[in-house]
């Protein structure tokens, strides 16, 4: 038996919170046409035009948006089918595969490369592997490479040990290097004491994002920092917050950064998509996607 390499320790209560919400209680499937919805989904399924779906308060929750990565769904996904967890297993196996392939092509979340899953799978006992295989077999996709799609009923049937190790593995996707506390305490504790409690920590909730983390880091008051770091902050609000704190946009290089400088990434349209707060000595503070 091969042990999956673990890069970090995550508190048990955080893992337990993730287990409950990482795969939402509703299954969401995207389709290009109404004809395809009718071909693949059972009669009287709940079908929502994409534009209406984006405005639907019940489905546009932070947990749903984050898990299904709704910000990256293909523009060709014109219809959305929302289904209870017991509906998908009742669909014909061939249709299940076609539906999941469409989700993978459209960029829906909760579909992972098997190379990511395999080390966690191999870390389980032989008996456990057989149990897992029986559960995940309908959700394995084989295109140019192998993928595994997660749906609610499948997720809840998986053994606890497999789910926990998998969540830790997924967390590592969004974490490159943790901050070594022995160095930080010596070099930056006096300057960044207000955010040290958040170093190398994961949130139980999906809400706080990178803009909140960086704006909190730029707010040295401990109480205000604690409140800000738990908010979901949008780009324009973030920009206003920076201006209020005296930040100005400048062009510089990584070699000329100073502590408290803030880096901002933009997409091809100039929209802010990520940000990080420079601590000095080549260390940065930000909130990962997970």
Contact 215, 232 (CB under 8 A): no
Quote the domain boundaries for residue 100.
12-173
Residues 120, 207: one domain?
Answer: no
Contact 101, 148 (CB under 8 A): no
Q: What is the pLDDT of residue 31?
A: 98
Residues 32, 161: one domain?
Answer: yes
Contact 232, 62 (CB under 8 A): yes
User: How many residues are there in the chain?
Assistant: 290
Final residue in a domain of this structure, among 173, 197, 227: 173
Residues 102, 205: one domain?
Answer: no
Q: What is the pLDDT of residue 177?
A: 54
Residues 159, 210: one domain?
Answer: no
How distant, in Å, are the alpha carbons of 43, 178, 214, 228 from that of 190? Answer: 63, 19, 18, 21
Residues 34, 169: one domain?
Answer: yes
Final residue in a domain of this structure, among 141, 173, 205: 173
Cα 10 to Cα 8: distance, rounded to the nearest angstrom: 6
Residue 290 counted as domain residue: no
**What region does 123 belong to: left with phi over 0, alpha with psi -120 to 50, or beta?**
alpha
Residues 167, 46: one domain?
Answer: yes
Final residue in a domain of this structure, among 173, 205, 226: 173
Residue 3 counted as domain residue: no
Q: What is the pLDDT of residue 123?
A: 93
Residues 154, 232: one domain?
Answer: no
Helix axes 160-173 and 12-21, enclosed angle (nearest 10): 100
Residue 122 counted as domain residue: yes
Residue 38 counted as domain residue: yes
Going through 50-194 in order, the beta strands assigned E by DSSP cover 79-84, 111-113, 140-142, 146-149
**What region does 139 belong to: left with phi over 0, alpha with psi -120 to 50, or beta?**
alpha
Contact 96, 47 (CB under 8 A): no
User: Which residue stretches of the chain have pLDDT < 50?
Assistant: 1-7, 183-185, 290
* Residue among 12, 10, 290, 21 at smallest CA distance from 155: 21
Residue 7 counted as domain residue: no
Contact 275, 210 (CB under 8 A): yes
In the structure encoding, which two tokens stand for residue 260, read together? 């408290």
Residues 138, 19: one domain?
Answer: yes
Residues 164, 190: one domain?
Answer: no
Residues 166, 231: one domain?
Answer: no
Cut 0.85: pTM above it: no
Q: How many structural domains does the chain have?
A: 2
Residues 233, 201: one domain?
Answer: yes
142-154 burial string, b = 16+ CB within 10 Å, else e? eeeeebbbbbbeb
Within 218-266, residue ranges assigned H as helices are: 222-228, 235-244
Residue 2 counted as domain residue: no
Q: What is the pLDDT of residue 236?
A: 93
Residues 167, 206: one domain?
Answer: no
Residue 164 counted as domain residue: yes
Q: Is the dihedral of CA 101, 105, 108, 114 positive or negative?
A: positive
């Amino acid at each position: 038996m091969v042990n999956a390499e673990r890069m970090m320790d995550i508190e048990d209560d955080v893992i337990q919170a993730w287990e409950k919400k990482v795969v939402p209680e509703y299954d969401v499937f995207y389709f290009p046409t109404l004809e395809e919805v009718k071909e693949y989904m059972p009669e009287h399924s709940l079908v929502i035009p994409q534009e209406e779906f984006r405005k639907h308060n019940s489905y546009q929750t932070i947990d749903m948006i984050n898990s299904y990565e709704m910000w990256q769904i293909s523009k060709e996904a014109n219809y959305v089918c929302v289904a209870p967890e017991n509906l998908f297993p009742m669909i014909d196996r061939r249709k299940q595969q076609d539906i999941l392939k469409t989700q993978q092509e459209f960029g829906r979340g909760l579909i992972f490369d098997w190379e990511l899953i395999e080390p966690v799978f191999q870390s389980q006992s032989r008996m456990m592997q057989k149990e897992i295989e029986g559960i995940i077999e309908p959700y394995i996709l084989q295109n140019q490479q192998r993928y595994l799609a997660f749906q609610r009923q499948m997720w809840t049937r998986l053994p606890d040990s497999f789910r926990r190790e998998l969540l830790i593995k997924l967390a590592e996707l969004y974490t490159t290097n943790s901050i070594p506390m022995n160095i930080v305490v010596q070099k930056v504790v006096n300057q960044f004491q207000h955010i040290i409690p958040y170093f190398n920590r994961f949130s139980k909730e999906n809400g706080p994002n990178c803009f909140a983390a960086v704006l909190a880091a730029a707010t040295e008051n401990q109480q205000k920092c604690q409140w800000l770091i738990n908010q979901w902050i949008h780009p324009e609000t973030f920009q206003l917050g920076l201006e209020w704190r005296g930040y100005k946009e400048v062009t510089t290089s990584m070699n000329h950064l100073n502590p408290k400088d803030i880096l901002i990434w933009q997409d091809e349209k100039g929209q802010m998509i990520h940000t990080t707060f420079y601590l000095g000595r080549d260390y940065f503070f930000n909130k990962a996607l997970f």
